[in-house]
Structure 1
Amino acid sequence: MKEIILQTIEREIQALRLLEQCCMEELEQVCAAIVETKGKVVFMGIGKSGHIGKKLAATFSSLGIRSIFVHAAEAVHGDLGMIDEDDFVILMSNSGTTTEVLQNLEPLTARHIVCASFTGNRDSALAQACDYHIHYPKPTEADEWNLAPTSSTTMMLVLGDALACALSSAKQFQKQDFFRYHPGGSLGKQLKQEQNKHCVN
């Protein structure tokens, strides 16, 4: 068991090291485009990529970047109505060939909504169809059959977090702003104490 655990951790670390050598220019382009976006950021995906999209939408929102997650399969059954024409949509698919994700391209394009692909396949139909791209190298997944979305979803998560932090900095988001969106829990309590201490001083 210990050997498998350590092997899993090492494979995911190796996957993250690949990120240091890729996609910086792409991330900067996406960051600049989102800064100019009047609407919100919409993450769209299904399966494991969808779960990462939900987390990223929550992180973006807590850092002052309006964001939601729309399930790719539900979107074409009415949830496309959650997306406005001035939004920025990030379509997530490791393979870039996921049918449920691809089926949203035509209705989004018809409304002239700006889209970015988030994929491990630069040559995929998804990447080719979008205005912007976030591409990461294909890693070795952490399971023994190199099948389960593990290393790839970790890469998605880290790149998304990096984008969120860069955008937050670009928008000059401050600690007191974070408290406005996160007043609960131990973190909210800590920030409130700091705020009260500052007011007293």
Structure 2
Amino acid sequence: MGIPSAGSERWSQHWLELGRQVIAQECQALAQAAERLDGGFVRVVAGLWRCSGRVAVVGVGKSADVGQKITGTFNSTGTRSYTLDPIRAVHGDLGMVAPEDVALLLSHSGESEELVRLLPALRQRTAGMYAITSHGSSRLAQAVDAAVLYGPLAEACPLGLAPSSSTTVMLAIGDALAFVLMEQRRFTEDDFARNHPAGSLGRRLARVTDYMRRDKELRLAPASATVRQVFTQARHHGRRTGAIMLLDDQGRLAGLFTDSDLARLFESRRDEALDRPIAEVMTRQPIVVRPQTRLAEAIDLLRSHKISELPVVDDQGRPLGMLDITDLIGMEQEAIAAEPVPLRILGQRKSA
């Protein structure tokens, strides 16, 4: 049989219709599962909530793959969890199961031999056993303390054989359990951030104190000094930032003067301004953030106001640090990846 051309209208339409059919059938299965949730779901949530140890997620085949994802979601949202392979379990890995742990067993049929033969050992070693399965009359459902039963489903596979609708539903039920438990624990964005210190997600959930320049890396000067004095007397250490924070007599932030502001003075031939107080040409009341501001919010401010530097101040308005776009440009690119307009690197504008 020859390979059909992707440009063939007949084949293209067939592929498109089949793809839509698969997705629609899995959506239908999810809707059915949602309607069928009952007291079993509540009892499973209660059992996992009472667990003082960890949740051992156990599955075979495709259910094991689903279990890996459920374990990851549990761990990232406050429910400590690990996966337990049934084959390895009966060859020594049962040693990782503690008496205060509970087991969450995954099986569409509820009759997987590898899972069923593990049940007596898990009953002896755990504080409780729970399941996600389709059949309430299965050996698995009958052996556990409570089960989420999602009922019969038609697999989206054209042959009706490959796990598809069932694994999608099992995955969604795992999410439902994780997020109900997350709400019960009053799990916050800060908790989530602590569990995600790496990657773009972790960075955007971080606080500005984790990324701001501080101490000797800051360019500070009195607002009463002249422009020339500020640029000839100021000393800077470490990474260069394009903005000078100008202070009043009480050490509070009075304004901001950027390298772009200096360039504009030269471009407009305002040489006389160089020997006038910098307060006359600085940006008064610049946009600032507090140290506990989320990095995502700070990046949004940099982006929406088209500025390159963002001072970080305390409750009295004293400078604590500076966010510089050159340190955050990678995260900014991630933040605007879906939009066509790139960030412009500009100095802060003077307020009217």
Fold shared, TM-score > 0.5 on shorter chain: yes
Give, in angstroms, the shift of residue 139 of structure 1.
1.0
In structure 2, do the counterparts of structure 1 residues 93 and 24 end up closer, same or farther at CA, with 3 Å as the change threshold? same
SS where residue 91 of structure 1 aligns? Answer: strand
Q: What is aligned with 1:90?
A: 104
Tell me how far apart the structure 2 counterparts of residues 119 and 20 of structure 1 sit (CA, whole Å): 14
Q: Residue 81 of structure 1: which of 83, 95, 103 is its match? A: 95
Q: Which has the larger displacement, 20-29 or 52-61?
A: 20-29
Tell me how far apart the structure 2 counterparts of residues 111 and 163 of structure 1 sit (CA, whole Å): 23
Aligned residues: 201
Q: What is aligned with 1:143?
A: 157
Normalising by structure 2, we get a TM-score of 0.55
Give yes or no for contact 2:101–2:127 (8 Å, CA) kept in 1. yes
Tell me how far apart the structure 2 counterparts of residues 195 and 153 of structure 1 sit (CA, whole Å): 42
- Identity over the aligned pairs, expressed in percent? 38
2:193 equivalent to 1:173: no
Provide, for residues 14-55 of structure 1, a one-character-per-residue CA deviation record: whole Å limited to 9, x for no partner.
000102211232111111122111111110011000000011
- In structure 1, stretches of 5+ residues that fail to align are none
Q: Which has the larger displacement, 96-105 or 28-37?
A: 28-37
Aligned AA for 1:30? V
Tell me how far apart the structure 2 counterparts of residues 64 and 17 of structure 1 sit (CA, whole Å): 27
Provide, for residues 71-127 of structure 1, a one-character-per-residue CA deviation record: whole Å limited to 9, x for no partner.
111111111111111111011111000001111111112335410121111110010
SS where residue 140 of structure 1 aligns? Answer: coil
Give, in angstroms, the shift of residue 138 of structure 1.
1.5
2:170 equivalent to 1:129: no
Normalising by structure 1, we get a TM-score of 0.95
Give yes or no for contact 2:97–2:125 (8 Å, CA) kept in 1. no
Q: Residue 117 of structure 2: which of 81, 87, 103 is its match? A: 103
Aligned AA for 2:110? G
Q: What is aligned with 1:45?
A: 59
Q: What is aligned with 2:253?
A: none
2:70 equivalent to 1:67: no
Aligned AA for 1:2? L
Q: Which has the larger displacement, 102-111 or 152-161?
A: 102-111
Q: What is aligned with 1:36?
A: 50
Aligned AA for 1:95? S
Give the structure with the larger helix fraction: 1
Tell me how far apart the structure 2 counterparts of residues 28 and 113 of structure 1 sit (CA, whole Å): 18
Give, in angstroms, the shift of residue 69 of structure 1.
0.5
Structure 1 stretches of 4+ moved >4 Å: 193-198
- In structure 2, stretches of 5+ residues that fail to align are 1-14, 211-288, 293-311, 315-352
SS where residue 40 of structure 2 aligns? Answer: helix
Give yes or no for contact 2:103–2:126 (8 Å, CA) kept in 1. no
Structural RMSD (CA)? 1.5
Give, in angstroms, the shift of residue 195 of structure 1.
7.2
Matches within 5 A, 1:15-30: 15-30=29-44
Provide, for residues 141-184 of structure 1, a one-character-per-residue CA deviation record: whole Å limited to 9, x for no partner.
11111111000000000011011000000011000000111011
Q: Which has the larger displacement, 120-129 or 105-114?
A: 105-114
Give yes or no for contact 2:51–2:127 (8 Å, CA) kept in 1. no
Tell me how far apart the structure 2 counterparts of residues 25 and 88 of structure 1 sit (CA, whole Å): 19
Q: What is aligned with 1:13?
A: 27
Q: What is aligned with 2:168?
A: 154
Q: Residue 56 of structure 1: which of 56, 67, 70 is its match? A: 70
Tell me how far apart the structure 2 counterparts of residues 98 and 42 of structure 1 sit (CA, whole Å): 17
2:204 equivalent to 1:190: yes
Q: What is aligned with 1:116?
A: 130
SS where residue 21 of structure 1 aligns? Answer: helix
SS where residue 121 of structure 1 aligns? Answer: coil
